[in-house]
A and B are shown apart, each in its own frame.
Chain A
């Protein structure tokens, strides 16, 4: 079966750093995605990792350990607009027709 776990909710302070963890167990693995979703809107792409290590993109970084089935999304210099749900998703297949499976999402609240 396919299983992707991430915390349901997190709270952090404006200007601080927060790390959102994701663990996965899937039948195959061909990359892990992070998406941001504001309430009532469609998800927007944040990052993609297929090799182990850290990928940095501005205030956001994403890490992957394939041997541990583990990833995290690191958000620095938090802003109020970062309040959103963050979705961890895995591509278990090996073709462009392969689906992407989403975790339940982590609702992040930023306080002043």
Chain B
């Protein structure tokens, strides 16, 4: 199946700093990628839909100025957590479908565990 790579897997940062997480589709093109957030023992909460070449669509309650999403190419989307605080500590997972494949399986990255001190 298609592979989605996410980097970094683990990141620890100080409060007030910014952290960038990359999501790459390695062997397919993805016009749309999705960013999820997951707290311990909870399910995946969709944060935003990342569209190549255009602005991301954020879910209600997600601050777009805090969680900056850039989807500059058909294989790369980035999530930047700006001015991170301890409550932003979570497991962030990206996913993607093969472009034009609908409804299609959603392929997930390995996830990035963010800890803000």
A residues bordering B, Cβ < 8 Å? Answer: 30-31, 33, 40-45, 48, 50, 85, 87, 89, 91, 94-105, 107
> What chain A residues lie within 8 Å of B99 (beta carbons)?
96
Known: A101-B46, A102-B43, A103-B43. A45 touches B32 (CB 8 A): no
Q: Enumerate chain B residues within 8 angstroms of A101, measured Cβ to Cβ.
A: 46
Select one of A33, A42, A85, A105 contacting B111, CB under 8 A: A42
Known: A42-B109, A45-B106. A97 touches B44 (CB 8 A): no
B47 shortest CB reach to chain A, Å: 10
**Cross-chain contact B105 with A45 (CB below 8 angstroms):** yes
Residues of B within 8 A of A103 (CB): 43
**Is the CB–CB distance between B31 and A96 below 8 Å?**
yes
Binding site for A on B (CB under 8 A): 1, 6, 31-32, 34, 36, 41-46, 49, 51, 91, 93, 95, 97-111, 113
Partner of A107, one of B41, B46, B105: B41
Residues of A within 8 A of B98 (CB): 96
CB distance from A77 to the nearest CB of B (A): 24
* Beyond known contacts A43-B108, A96-B99: 18 more, CB 8 A cutoff: A30-B103, A33-B106, A40-B111, A40-B113, A42-B6, A42-B93, A45-B106, A48-B105, A87-B44, A89-B106, A95-B102, A97-B32, A100-B46, A102-B36, A102-B46, A104-B42, A104-B43, A107-B41
Known contacts A42-B108, A43-B108, A101-B46; decide if A96 and B51 are in contact (CB<8 Å). Answer: no
**How far is it, in angstroms, between the C-alpha of A103 and the C-alpha of B102 when the chains are bound?**
21
Cα distance A41–B6 when bound, in Å?
A: 12
Interfacial chain B residues near A40, Cβ < 8 Å: 91, 111, 113
A98 touches B103 (CB 8 A): yes
Cα(A95)–Cα(B101), bound, Å: 9
